[in-house]
A and B are shown apart, each in its own frame.
Chain A
Amino acid sequence: MDESVIDQDVYAELQETAGAEFVAELVDTFLEEAPGMLAELRSARAENHSERFRRGAHSLKSNSNTFGALKLAALARDLEIKGLDADPARDMAVLAELDAECARAAAALKVLRDG
């Protein structure tokens, strides 16, 4: 597992304060919710809906930070602050990057959950 995907200290602290068993459930919830959040971002982009786009990025950022998925959080934060790009192609490129990073984070979280 690539240790740079999830910040181990953040994850360990989350386990310590909320309990390992609860965090395992929380990871499951995130794994269920994440595809919907990514889809929401894409649909907001397609419909040119800046408010939904910003809120979707915000939500993904918030959850990534919770689990210590810092790179994913940084990508989402960039989208939140920048908002819809005048050039949709540029957003699509970032969204592809976001998908890939989210997949890496999901894989790493599964390992941590089952570890």
Chain B
Amino acid sequence: MAEFGARLLIADDNKVNRLLLSRSVELQGHSAALAENGRVALEMLRREPFDLLLLDIEMPEMDGFAVLEHLKADPQLRDLPVIVTSSVEGLDNIVRCIGLGAEDYLPKPVNAVLLKARIGASLEKKRLRDQQKDLVRRFATSEVAQDLQQSGFSLGGKRVHASVMFSDIRGFTALVENQPPEETIELLNTYYTLMFEAISSHGGVVNQMIGDGLMALFGAPLSLDDCAGSAVAAAQEMIELIEQFNLERAAARKPPISIGIGIATGDVVAGYTGTQQRATYTCIGDTVNLAARLEAHTKNVQRPILIDAATRHGLEAGVQLIALGDVQFKGKAGAAPVYAVAQHSG
């Protein structure tokens, strides 16, 4: 059980109280460290990990209210459960503790049975919160998870300058029909592992995976100095990785796969869309549509990487491009110039 063997910090200026509380938690199977005032407690919390804080209010140097305020303002510590144990007079003081984020309040002298129940409940809540954070990390990218932790969740977006990438496997439907589903899943897992590696090593974030296709952002949620250059470099690496992967497939007598990548750059609105219950980090705007069209267009021109004029504009001189002229895309008012990225020689 997670609630046993937790590490607690007891902050109390009174020696008798400290000893008695630490005895109580040790009898419950936890270990306790002791701090004689709020300042010392904060230092210890910032130095080593604790599962829970038992906090007195009346203390010299820094009292419990100030400790609660510091914890609330600290992204690393604001989720630490705090149980206030005090014989402080006045209901308003208790209300103030709860308002400042204390999980619970226990009057002194602390009843051992109540203390055990409250510690158990707080640790269980902490375990659920940790699990939730873990889930967010698994299903969102770490950048999105960090963004969520720092600014909280709210629907709605902000305008950012970014490069949007779409990529998918050519002829995937035919491939799926000619092999057992287990093999397809394995293929997809390898494919995604390679693509994630190429994208994230250039500062991009994969924000959607649909079947064999993916959408990636360069410049959101974290801004990038050179989003166009990063996106194109990632695309070139993706193509190289697929070529290596095809060598392995050839050795296993499997047909090669090929991918198409479209990149467009411009202002997009990035943020969380969906409902309060289920939302995803994405971005919308003309740039996104154009990137999707460019990706689809790779089939028509038999070029693996196509980019728009704004992406080209953001590139340094070293990248070799082939101008393919203007293309009229579905749903677009005017024709847009399209460029193919030439592969690295050798």
Contacts and interface: CB of A to CB of B under 8 A. Distances in A.
A joins B in a complex: yes
Contacts of A22: 23
B24 A17 contact: yes
Contacts of A14: 109
B87 A65 contact: yes
Contacts of A55: 13, 58, 60
A7 B19 CA distance: 21
Interface in B13-37: 13-17, 19-20, 23-24, 27
A52 B59 CA distance: 10
A100 B123 CA distance: 44
Interface in A16-43: 17-19, 22, 25-26, 29-30, 33
B16 A26 contact: yes
A62 B15 contact: no
A63 interface: yes
A80 B20 contact: no
B87 A62 contact: yes
Contact of A18 (B15, B27, B58): B27
Contact of B20 (A26, A33, A52, A81): A26
B11 to A, nearest CB: 14
Contacts of B176: none
Give the size category of A's interface with B: 20 to 34
Contacts of B185: none
Contacts of A50: none
B14 A59 contact: yes
B109 A59 contact: no
B133 interface: no
A30 B14 CA distance: 10
Nearest to A59: B14
A18 B20 CA distance: 8
A69 to B, nearest CB: 11
Contact of A61 (B27, B60, B87): B87
A58 interface: yes
A4 interface: no
A29 B87 contact: no
B40 to A, nearest CB: 16
Interface in A48-97: 52, 55, 58-59, 61-63, 65-66, 77, 80-81
Given A26-B20, A26-B23, A59-B58, 4 more contacts: A19-B27, A22-B23, A33-B16, A66-B16
30 contacts: A17-B24, A17-B112, A17-B113, A18-B20, A18-B23, A18-B27, A18-B112, A19-B27, A22-B23, A25-B19, A26-B20, A26-B23, A29-B15, A29-B16, A29-B19, A33-B15, A55-B13, A55-B58, A55-B60, A58-B88, A59-B13, A61-B87, A62-B14, A62-B17, A62-B109, A65-B108, A65-B109, A66-B16, A66-B20, A77-B89
